[in-house]
A and B are shown apart, each in its own frame.
Chain A
Amino acid sequence: AQSVTQLGSHVSVSEGALVLLRCNYSSSVPPYLFWYVQYPNQGLQLLLKYTSAATLVKGINGFEAEFKKSETSFHLTKPSAHMSDAAEYFCAVSRTGFQKLVFGTGTRLLVSP
């Protein structure tokens, strides 16, 4: 069964610093992986997705993620954090059949001036 694990329920960075949010997956088949962002009191918005076309995936707002099969990881990065990046981030893997998503428990990103 597919699953994802997000390490760290909270990550704190300073404005301008590197953002690294970790996601490891477990899947018996080649996975499709997603990163979503949730701003306060809003629904989830897709940041990027991995569909096996390329291991380095670029998303919106300057975020990118690299699929590493050997490490079963799909970590999300951004070179320079901005105050507006403060939100909760969810990694998800797609289960076969009707595109059901399995989400990680989320990582809240805090950005300080």
Chain B
Amino acid sequence: DAGITQSPRHKVTETGTPVTLRCHQTENHRYMYWYRQDPGHGLRLIHYSYGVKDTDKGEVSDGYSVSRSKTEDFLLTLESATSSQTSVYFCAISAGVRSYNEQFFGPGTRLTVL
């Protein structure tokens, strides 16, 4: 299994509070991704990173920010959580940039915003 951990695994928070989710990898892969999974939508890309301090937006980036100060860590921050951000969040990593390189997924973080 790819060495990907996510923390916390479960979190309940209140509307308006900031939340940071962490993704940590031990594979030294350059590319990292954050997705959210919602029923009826599959997985949707929030943000991705192609190197330290190099990040870009995905298709559902509103309300989220990311940071990557080290190769192994990719942080996802909800500046002011809303109920619509209740979801399961997955981090993924990829060894290469070629379109046929598969992504490896972490175990997920279940976030509930009350």
Contacts and interface: CB of A to CB of B under 8 A. Distances in A.
Contacts of A104: 42
Nearest to B44: A103
A90 to B, nearest CB: 6
A98 B108 contact: no
B90 to A, nearest CB: 6
Interface size range of chain A in the complex? 20 to 34
Contact of A99 (B90, B101, B106, B108): B101
Interface size range of chain B in the complex? 20 to 34
Contacts, number: 60
A17 to B, nearest CB: 25
B108 A43 contact: yes
Nearest to A36: B105
Contacts of A41: 108
Given A99-B97, A105-B42, A46 B50 contact: no
Interface in B16-62: 31, 33, 40-45, 48, 50, 56, 58
A99 B94 contact: yes
A72 interface: no
Given A94-B100, A98-B50, A99-B97, A43 B45 contact: no
Interface of A: 9, 32, 34, 36, 41-46, 49, 51, 90, 94-96, 98-106
Given A43-B4, A44-B43, A99-B101, 8 more contacts: A44-B105, A45-B105, A94-B99, A98-B50, A100-B48, A102-B45, A103-B42, A105-B40
15 contacts: A9-B40, A32-B99, A32-B100, A36-B105, A43-B105, A44-B43, A44-B90, A90-B42, A98-B48, A99-B31, A99-B96, A100-B33, A100-B48, A104-B42, A105-B42
